[in-house]
Structure 1
Amino acid sequence: MKLSEIAAVAGVSEATVSRVLNRKYGVAQKTRDQVEAALRSVGYERTNKGEIVLILVPSLGGLIFAELCDEIEKQLSPHGLRALVCPVFPGTVYEQDYVELMIDKGIAGAIFVSSSNTLRNSDSGAHQLLESRGVPFLTVNGGFADADAPVVSTDDWQAAELSVAHLHDLGHRRIGLAAGPVGNIPADRRAEGFLTAMESRGIDDAEELIARGRYTIEGGRTAADELLELGATAIIAASDDMALGAYRAIARRGLNVPQDVSVIGYDDSYLLDFTDPPLTSVRQPVESIGEVCTRAMVTMIQHRPLRTEEVLLEPELRLRKSTGPVPVSSS
């Protein structure tokens, strides 16, 4: 059918039909839906080729990853793009397997969400394959050292500063960091930010108050045990799961949160209002990450110029009930 015929069915201009077919900016969602409905009514079959954006993510078990994928998918949709979420453990061959499986299907692009892009010296097969085939990609929370691709990250240095500042204002000086594994880019950045924030407040022995562990409840419990042995009165955790592990370590010692030890998590979700006590946490700006990722991906798909400097987005400290003044006996 001609564009004019489809436009007549949809009740829009030919230019609008063209923009919808070519996934261009400037079409309201309601109008886009009208055109898509008209296309279906006249039997027009759109191919999926060039519509799919891979989202490579470590797991959907972590709420933050599910939220990020959901937000990116929601923001891609108005541009006629479909997200295909691929859960892969970072640094494994499965990441490249997904890319190899889908690249000949004509994928539009790929987004690495805290996947191999967060690991220093990770296997480069997946993103190099995308580069070799001219498929645009970008990364979230860390970039590949050998790739000139956009990077969208939460400002981990600022996240550490927010946490230390809050606890320091409450009188805490023995502040510990339950950090993620060495070689994980966000974990290393938060450790750097922690040391800078502590040193700027005249606390010079902060390095001994960093305990590394996995981003799990058990990893947080183990790290918290180390920090409590060193006399920490407050613990900043690298994830909410680690913070809940710290809760467990504190309770096993017969101590209470926040009367004896204050705890701050990282990522933030609505479920934290229901922990006991409700967990103070640094929230990643999920909506902003989705918006910036989508804008960059659509720009690259349309072959328009794009600067690839890392974009750092501001986190937010969400105060609940897990932080309080330093115990009198420790001040």
Structure 2
Amino acid sequence: MSKATVSRVLNERPGVSPQMRQAVLTAIDVLGLERPSGLRPRSSGLVGLILPSLEDPIYPVFAQVVQTNLARLGYTPVLCIQNREGAGEDEYVGMLLDRGVSGIIFVAGQHSFTDADKTRYESLLAQRLPVVFVNGYMEGINAPFISCDDMAAGDLAVRHLAALGHRRIGLLLSSATNIADLRQAEGFCRAMRREFGLVDDNLIDVSFKGEEGGYAGAIRLLSKGVTAVVCASDLLALGAIHALSQRGHRIPKDISVVGYGDSNFMAYTAPPLTTVRQPILAMGAFTAQTLVKCIDGESFSAGESLFPPELVIRGSSGVRSD
């Protein structure tokens, strides 16, 4: 075989028959040389599932739904959970590639931030590795993206609170660069303009993730005289309720709180949390099916598939009392 043929195979260029391509790869293996990453054999039964954490209760539910649907389709997920002390997304991707996974599902990863570097994903696509992204979006990445309609979620929350008589409504975000938060803020502002003709930017607070972020942000919004708070996650909402209750405010008689996400636990908080539900079961099933279709070489629609949210009214929202 000629050097030109070997070069075409190694650089994945056309003009080489399947038989000759396999002969070149066999020779590389026999000589003990390392194949380029894009030509390494993949484990047909394994796929990577990278989650941001398990702190938010919607992520364990999502992982379970994905796992169940992948198993039905003959695949097993390798679960990778990020945390502050452990491996990050890039480290997990390297480990998954070493295992030869057939594809990777990224959930609320680096792709969910406006300031993220997309070259990490372009590299995976150049290796022809099937990937699916959940909760977030990146222009120029030719892969399926699956999200809840965050803009509609922000709109739903304001519509609900406005119907209860609230006008001074605060918005509590976890990040200024998270795409889901920014979209929810856009829906919030759109609804505030529609309902009241204006948006008070002072009532939009950017805190940080988790209950602690909700606690800190709620104290700041409380000082601005809000009668209701829309939160970008259920954990933020739980932290907000804790802070408001500690300061003697009754939920929802004095202040209403609305979250975003919804897991089974939210019906048993004190008070039960009014929230905008993400359709985790439908999103998880669709994510698994989409990845397997990509692995099987079926065509897919690049771009974003949005799932509609649903308002779930419980005990943390009520009629404005004054």
1:165 equivalent to 2:159? Answer yes
Q: Corresponding residue for 1:177?
A: 171
Percent identity for Structure 1 against Structure 2? 35
Select 1:138's aligned residue among 132, 140, 165: 132
Distance 1:304 1:289, change over 3 A: same
Q: CA RMSD of the aligned region, Å?
A: 1.8
Aligned to 2:181: 187
Q: Does 1:85 align with 2:85?
A: no
CA contact (8 A) 2:42 2:102 kept: no
Q: Distance in 2 between matches of 1:73 and 1:48?
A: 19
CA deviations on 1:242-278 (whole Å, 9 max, x unpaired) are: 1111112212321100000001111111112221111
Alignment of 1:10-25 (within 5 A): none
Partner of 1:153: 147
TM-score (norm 1): 0.81
Aligned residues: 281
Instruction: Tell whether the 8 Å contact from 2:148 to 2:306 is kept in structure 1 after alignment.
Output: yes
Q: CA deviation at 1:89?
A: 4.8
Shift of 1:207: 2.1
How far residue 205 of structure 1 moved from its aligned partner, in angstroms, is 3.1
Post-superposition Cα deviations, 1:53-106, rounded to whole Å, max 9, x if no partner, equal 11111112221111111111111111111111111259x972122221221432
Residue 256 of structure 1 is matched in structure 2 by: 250
Residue in 2 that maps onto 1:216: 210
Opposite residue 102 of structure 1, the aligned amino acid is L
What is the deviation of 1:126? Answer: 4.0
1:108 maps to 2:102: yes
Corresponding residue of 1:296? 290
Higher relative contact order (CA 8 A, sep 6+): 2
Asked if the contact 1:199–1:206 (Cα under 8 Å) also holds between the matched residues in 2, the reply is: no
Letter of the aligned partner of 2:92 in structure 1? Y
Q: 1:242 and 1:163 mapped to 2: Cα distance?
A: 15
**CA distance in 1 between partners of 2:56 and 2:161 (Å):** 26
1:324 is aligned to 2:308:
no
CA displacement at 1:108 relative to structure 2: 1.0
Matched, 1:314 2:308: yes
* Cα offsets for 1:2-53 (capped at 9, x unmatched): xxxxxxxxxxxxxxxxxxxxxxxxxxxxxxxxxxxxxxxxxxxxx9812111
Which residue pairs with 1:22 in the alignment?
none
What is the CA-CA distance between 1:308 and the residue it aligns to? Answer: 1.1
Partner-residue secondary structure (3-state), 2:300: coil
Contact 2:189/2:199 (8 A) holds in 1: no
Residue 125 of structure 1 deviates from its aligned partner by 5.3
Match of 1:66 in 2: 60
Change (3 A) 1:319 1:251: same
Gap regions ≥5 residues in structure 1: 1-46
TM, length-normalised to structure 2 = 0.83
Q: 2:237 aligns with which of 233, 238, 243?
A: 243
Partner of 1:119: 113
Asked if the contact 2:236–2:259 (Cα under 8 Å) also holds between the matched residues in 1, the reply is yes
SS of structure 2 residue aligned to 1:54 = strand
- Uncovered stretches (5+) of structure 2, i.e. residues with no partner: 1-40
- Aligned residue number for residue 26 of structure 1: none
CA separation of 1:50 and 1:126: change in aligned 2, threshold 3 A = farther
State the partner residue of 2:16. none
Runs (4+) of structure 1 exceeding 6 A deviation are none
Q: Give 1:289 shift.
A: 0.6
